[in-house]
Amino acid sequence: MKILKTLEKYMEDPSLELVASGHRACQGCAEVLALRMAFKVLGKNTIVAMATGCMEIISTPLPITCWRLPWIHVAFENTAAVASGIESAIRILMAKGKIDKKWINVVGVAGDGGTSDIGLQALSGALERGHRLIYICLDNEAYMNTGVQRSSSTPYGASTTTSPPGKKSIGQSTWKKDMPKIAVAHNIPYVATACPSYPFDLFNKLKKAKEKDGPSYIHILSVCPTGWRIPSEMAIEYGRLAVRCGMFPLYEVEDGVYKMTFKPDTLIPVEEYIKGQGRFRHLTEKEIKEIQQRVNSEWEKLNKLCEITKP
């Protein structure tokens, strides 16, 4: 297998599946794919704290689990708090000589609701205290677990059950919260955005995060065919379109230095990304234009940040 040889650069054992088959994710779920890829890189030596959300309910309906790792389910609010507690405990046990001094990765995983809405306070605290943990936000742009309700990470104009479009509403009326920038503001060693449609980029970023001595925050866009109202086989393609149109730029911030990890020569129009999705089908040309302007200005801002912070 050629691909396993290639992947050996990124991980110890590419054929190791730490998220087993038999989980109950919807057909074509790119979120569980993101998890599968991420934990391939992080490896066996990992402890996971996971908030309530899609990935929690599909992976562990008691008495079944698809995890082959020590895994703890926590409430929405305290993923980062529990993960930082685990990290502190490991440090103390190491200091007392009760466990080997080989570092164990501590990972907090939450959805976009669990990160940008409910878990933000605990996350901010954990990042500020500087625990050595990896926080993964799986962003599917709404509360998909309970049947598509809006979160602060939902993009402008998207239709959800709590932001329905109609005569006086265009769907979600606010812009997507820029979580990676909030994480950057904590001056942590590593922040990155990733997407499973670009697997090697994702592997690289998790590998870097794993080696940092301090908190790292990875924001992964995970396409949700059910909530975005797209065919299940298009999940990977829509991730690609999101990146290529500039709605979800792939970048990393290492010690305050911004760097684009994938830079398309020319951005494709956002219309190409928007037109196939059921959640955006009510949008008129005027609103698509608004979104295009916003995407362009955000893209320019990001490029400027990359230039300014260049060492």
Binding site for another protein (CB under 8 A): 1-4, 17, 19-25, 27-30, 32-33, 36-37, 59-69, 196, 199, 225, 231-237
Q: How many CB atoms lie within 10 A of CB 102?
A: 7
Select 17 or 178, whichever has its Cβ closest to another protein: 17
Query: What does the alpha-carbon distance between residue 61 and residue 239 come to, in Å, rounded to a whole number?
Result: 28
In angstroms, give the least distance from the CB of 181 to another protein.
29
Query: What does the alpha-carbon distance between residue 60 and residue 66 come to, in Å, rounded to a whole number?
Result: 6
Select 25 or 220, whichever has its Cβ closest to another protein: 25
Select 62 or 95, whichever has its Cβ closest to another protein: 62
Contacts of 208 (CB under 8 A, 6+ apart): 190, 192, 216, 252, 254
Query: What does the alpha-carbon distance between residue 141 and residue 125 come to, in Å, rounded to a whole number?
Result: 23
In angstroms, give the least distance from the CB of 209 to another protein.
20
In angstroms, give the least distance from the CB of 15 to another protein.
8
In angstroms, give the least distance from the CB of 131 to another protein.
25
* Residues 104 and 46: beta-carbon distance below 8 Å: yes
In angstroms, give the least distance from the CB of 272 to another protein.
17
In angstroms, give the least distance from the CB of 155 to another protein.
23
Select 17 or 300, whichever has its Cβ closest to another protein: 17
What 3-state DSSP class applies to 236?
Answer: helix
Contacts of 47 (CB under 8 A, 6+ apart): 69, 70, 71, 72, 86, 90, 104, 105, 106, 107
* Residues 170 and 252: beta-carbon distance below 8 Å: no
Select 80 or 230, whichever has its Cβ closest to another protein: 230
- Secondary structure letter of residue 79 according to DSSP: H
Select 54 or 295, whichever has its Cβ closest to another protein: 54
